[in-house]
Amino acid sequence: MHIHLAQHGEAKPEEIDPERRLTENGTRAVQKVADFLRKSSGLEVDTIWHSGKPRAQQTAELLRLATSAGEGALMQHDGLAPKDAVEPIKRELEQGDSNVMIVGHLPFLGRLAALLLTGNADNEVVAFQFGCVVCLNRDDAGRWKLEWMIVPKLLRG
């Protein structure tokens, strides 16, 4: 089972855009990651969850094109806001066996990755960046491991 954690792309400041949609640079960076992932092999993803905030939804829509997920796989999911508790999402992921992409925010994503990888949400173990995607794999014994991470600044274009 694979879980892909994606931080939304760079968003406009609230004073300029109260909805905080992606900036042009944010859109370009996420598109670069999506293009790279699609050309590399594409991602086997059954469902893509996003927080419902415009910046997360826009990022999810761009990344979906790099996955095996159809349009209907993209859905708003409760419990993914920046300061939401991560334990309920961990339980939901571990009760299922499908490959899920979660597009969201910090500190939520960092706390979820830490909880899955170390058992403690307060351990900062992944340096998330705008537009990055982190892949975690759960082995047959139920242990989570970091499989790979891609950040926009590593990619040309």
Interval 62-100: pLDDT, tens: 999 999 888 889 999 999 999 999 999 999 999 988 999
The pLDDT of residue 42 is 72
Q: Which domain holds residue 148?
A: 2-154
State the CATH number of the domain containing residue 18.
3.40.50.1240
Query: Which residues make beta-bridge pairs with 138?
Result: 144
- 156 has a pLDDT exceeding 80: no
Instruction: Judge contact between 7 and 106, C-beta under 8 A.
Output: yes
pLDDT tens sequence across 12-39:
999 999 999 999 999 999 999 999 999 9
Q: What is the mean pLDDT of residues 110-126?
A: 97
Instruction: Judge contact between 61 and 48, C-beta under 8 A.
Output: no
The pLDDT of residue 157 is 64
- The number of folded domains in the chain is 1
Q: E strands, the chain, where? A: 2-7, 47-50, 74-76, 100-104, 133-138, 144-150
pTM of structure: 0.96
Compute how many other C-beta atoms are within 10 angstroms of the C-beta atom of residue 37: 20
